[in-house]
Structure 1
């Protein structure tokens, strides 16, 4: 008997960003051939304010639960009539509810902010917390994206290659996402030459930089070593801080994939500096893929 495939989960709160996240999540569920779960946490308004999406037009507390998820599920169904979209209302804190849902999900999709009325470039606290604690990949809809998973505007998935090596869940996720969309994957490894290693001697000029670049090339090849032979992957090493390199490249990508280490028993945000930075500054949606490590 085959194992049931895990659904895609999208968090909604009635805001415009969360309804646009429904569009992306619906596309993602169709790409994966799975159910979509539309989740509303009834205590969300404590964190994100009171301004509802203009197309709902029903601000009363009685509407905030069922009407929000029903409207979002109808939106997903209108976009993909054959998609099973299940509305779910949970009387819990939003961060806890979505992280808990993520334990039985193939991916979590959230908007970049909620109903606080803040500028869309700012990342909401719920989105940040979910990306930092979920057990499954979390896609945060950052930037001026086209609000859909496919077809993308730029026709490529961008992967930031870190220190995880060939067993990286982020690498596997990025390859699979590019395959589903039928687009190439651009795998990027950033590198830097520390200032204390530079030299003014003309015969040594560029030598430390060359060694660091060679290490970056080796790390990139190691991370991509086990990819299928027919995978359409473009490899790049770029000098600079990883967070800036990836943020700059995100302007020409439809999805940026980064990894994040998780350690059992550790409290606080478990993202790392690169993932944290791109979540705040990326020009395209960001997928944060967790990797559990021994403490």
Structure 2
């Protein structure tokens, strides 16, 4: 057998091995993303005159998107606003925490990382209900704020935008901290020391060295926080009021209560398209090539 034939055979085997390795992931993606996505898009194009009782038929009714957006655009923009504010709060809080763990924690680093992910050991629903108790009208927080006259006697925190954003911030904070920590921990400390040797102040050194080098973690963390927060409905359901309903609440109600599958599918696809477009623009303009 010629040497070229042996080399060609080895290359073919390696190529087939690569296909076999990615096959489980490809099958998983097809079963749990592509097929449900196709079903969702099909649902968004159902005949709007159908119902759960009479059934739906595929009519390619693109007007569902216009009708759903006109009716629920307030909840849609509110969801993006709440998610954006919660993401910025997570970034501010999470960066300080991740920086402290990466550079200041010393031998307590592993313990602090465990404490960051400790909330995941309990139910998402239970964590949100805990905030309902913390922000209750007769709770310690409200009573303390009323005592120092930061809240009026009849003011409240529960069932307000503040409560919803606070719940989103708390629940999704670990998604911000972990990517930031992973990015900060890879920074060579000698680069930070070099900025001091070149007479940069600590603040200038941070914005010129530390923050730019941590941008992959910032981008990953903001995406992991913003995307699920925009589609969340638990926090608005438990901590908010009808005036703080998010698009997730609308979609959940349309699917499970009203049975308006066409409008629910249209709103789901609309939210998905807006988020994907925003993510593409954000990643392209963020200045990090690791995620592009």
Do the structures match in fold with TM over 0.5? no
* Structure with more of its chain in helix, by fraction: 2
TM-score for both structures, normalised by structure 2: 0.20
The alignment's TM-score, normalised by the length of structure 1, stands at 0.20
User: Which of the pair is proportionally richer in strand?
Assistant: 1
Which structure has the larger Rg? 2
